[in-house]
Structure 1
Amino acid sequence: MFMIQAAAQIPPGAPSITGPQVIIQGDQVTLTCTVNGGSPSPTVKWLRDDKVVDDSSTTSGTTVVNTYSFTASNDEHLEVFECQSENGVLQNPLSRTKFVEVYRPPTTPVLVGPGEAQPGTLTTWTCTSRGGYPLQTMAMRIGNSVFSNELTTNSVLVNESYTVTGTLSWAPTTANNGQTLFCDVYHPETLGQNNPQTVSKILTVRSPLAVNAPRTLYEPTTGQTITLTCQVTSGTATSIMWYKDNQLLNLAANSRLSGASPGAPSMTISNVQTSDTGNYICSATDGSATRNTSTITVSPRATPTQPTLVGPTSMTAGSTGTWTCTSIGGFPLQTMSMRINNVVVNSNELSINSQYNSNLRTYTVVGTLNKALNMGHNGQTLFCDVTHPETLQSPQTVSLPLTVRSPLAVTAPTTFYNPEEEEDVTLNCIVTTGTATGINWYKNNNRITVGANQRFSGGLPNSPSLTMTDVEIADGGNYICEATDGSATVRTNSIFVSVRERPWLEYDIITYVLDGYNKLVRPRDPVVNVTHSLIPREIFEFDGGKKFVLQAMQCMSWNDPRLTWPKGQPRISLPSSVIWLPDVVLFGQKYVPDFEAKVIVTKDGTVVYCPQGPITATNCEEKSGEVYECDFRFLSWSYDKVMLDKHFPGLISDPSIDMSIYLEHDHYEIVSRCAVRREMTYPCRDGTYPELKYTFVLRRRRSFCRNLNQSPTCV
């Protein structure tokens, strides 16, 4: 027989929970769950929202304890915490719950509303307290006097906290000026029983501001001093400002303006000017309110400046003159009249115009008199009178003396002059009436400045005629004599001058071209171009050997711009010794003509020089059978190519020798000839020298001769 002993199973006891009754946001909270008994030993755990948050526990004998700690926040507010115990004996675990409320202090309240108020005026202030739980309470007071009927409060639960709004509607009195308005918020659960949150605002209660302008129109005279009166009739102004035409005045920037302080709000304008015209406003402020006076109009009366009178003081009888009188700077409008001595001028002759200057705020009056004077006005005075009764006791007057003369007239007794060149002529001009103060002469409508031309004289008031000496062709034209007496200007009829050309004789031409001529100077820079040709006349001598003498003419031509003249015959003849000649000589020989050859000069400066005489060649060379070749070489010894260049006449590429005047020799005949230009250099001189070489081939006359086709060596 066996014995089996079974252990007894006992359910645990019901859980008990301990923890704080009041929980304030931010507190460290500990909840303790205790279970006694039970076999086997039970488990104890904490749940929140059916979720296990802590399953740790400690066992001491038959007692099991689970302690759960957390920091109180909005997340735990109004949450239910459950403690469960079980050991498998019972079908369902045993449980106990703890409802948690987290108390929160409200934020510092906010008090809004005016800091200044007018006495007896209903004014509203609002105090707001947010974020309290449970509900906070609110009170408002002035000093220690708590408001009751004047304060309404309203609370609303937002996001599990309360917002309380207190609205105070109250009409303060001047006795409340300087007192403090308080808003107190009570929350004993978090702040303590007698420890409210408090905010405050100091109150300023003043009488309403008012200003007045007892006078709204000022009409001073410029230069005076006026004070625009401004009065603060109620309240206390902290600042005074003045406006002109809606623009703020800067009194510190204008030395003529003063005043405008809270203690003396009126503004003084010294030395009043027309620019001070306008509409003014006095504006006062007490820091919260601004008050303006009605518009104050300033309309200065300005004395016009002394008028000016301009116009002619000397006139010709019967002519119409224009005089202008100008008065500037008057306000209100000044009046004007004009008179000669004591006779007021006809209104049809005087026009008066006025114009208002909006910038200067004054009037300008201009009177224009157009009147024809007669001899009866001579010596009288023209007056301009300006009247301005607002500022002047008597008229302003300016005057001009009048001189009236007989009308001016001039005539030209002769209207056609036909002098010859280099003669003197006087164009007559006579002042027949009146007195000329100035004489002017015109040629072809262009004024003549007599003093600027030494050949012209006259043209003066006491000698109006114009004298011209050494008349030139260019002096021909239409002339007019003009006279003026300061107010009138008259002219003669047109005076026509036709200058006859004086013929130039040969004497005139030669005198003209040689006046100041320097024959040592080349006629042109940098180079003088000379053409040269040799014209044989006859064989003067030939000995059948080296020496060959030819009677010939040299013709040279160049241009000398100094030897030109404007008119007269087309050419002249001059001795060659009086002008510059090119030093073209025969190489190896001295050429001496039998007389001084003249040069032919044409009007454009072309010079032709053709000296004639015997020229000798000493270098003849016998070619064959009494056939001889002789050459003549011409060149300049003092001028190289850059100063004097030599060419054959014309532009032909193969120049020839002119044989048109050649006379045949009894014993020798010229069977061939040629001319060649070469440029040579010489050891004794620098530069390149053009050389013209003329070559002749001669033979003795006979019935038969060898090598009849022999030609000279032209290289």
Structure 2
Amino acid sequence: MRCFSFDVRGKHLSEARHWSAPEVFGPRAHFSTSPPPAALLVRDVKRRDEGVYRCRIDFRNTQTTSFRYNLTVVVPPEKPVVVDRWGRIINTTTLGPHEEGDDVLLTCRVLGGRPEPSVRWLVNGVLVDEEYEHNTGDVIENRLLWPAVRRADYAAVFTCQAANSHLVPPKELSLVLDMFLRPLTVEIRRPAQVGEGGELTAERRYEVACESAGSRPPALLTWHKGKRQLKRITEELRDNLTVSVMSFVPTLDDDGKPLVCRAQNPNVSALFLETSWLISVVYPPVVRLRLGSSLAAGDIKEGDDVYFECHVRANPPARKLSWLHDVSHPSSLIPQTNYMPNIKFI
């Protein structure tokens, strides 16, 4: 069947008559003589245009010449679609968020294409899986299992690529891996006003800072003293660093207690890291004097022997203990200078 003709008989080349069969190329075809070589140009090639074409050239004074051309039409596949492990289509450019240790299972589906396309997975531009299989109809699938994602996988680019010819770029879909990350560091910054041995002074206000880095999203910092959570805090973000400043007034009961700073991923409670500071609080002696524990105050009569117990609590420990009787008299000091914890005086 004739599909196109270019006739210059009795005419100048620029006045040649073009004819294109409506049922074949119609207005999509045009014969071009400049620049050489002359060629038949077909726009918007259709799949039905595929086949063997014969070009016949009739000369005025010489023998007719003909050539055969095999036209193969490549039909690109449709853009890939990616579904998760539950068969849900991922309509965003983000994958996740996932936690460290999760297995990522993705299925790339490609419809159509002629010749049959190859479907493969790339991670950060590196080929990791090129095994695919046919599903129903013209659907081709490639399943990718990326086990136990790590921190290093954060922001990795997973690309499904379908290609069936070097003539056109491959069709592809890329997803960026989002992750919830646990804090990497947490550190308590002790205030500059602490003593030489790191002691705090009772009834004096201090501001203690805690810093944490590595969490995504930024860590939530909480303070605990013993089993009680402390509330008087301020928090700010500095680049990838979360800084919490806690203000508190230590008491003598805080001596020897741990001050804990806990950094926790706000979206996953199990992703946390904490550090503690065992605080030492210095305070003046606290003295309690009482009648001997084996005596009954109501049974004491003149002539009986009595004794007293002096209980002393101090940090650092008291080094001297003095007993006084009837402090209104100058001679009231009792010569007792050696200190013994909870000393008894008879």
- So what's the TM-score if we normalise by structure 1? 0.26
Largest Rg, 1 or 2: 1
Structure with greater contact order relative to length (CA < 8 Å, sep ≥ 6) = 2
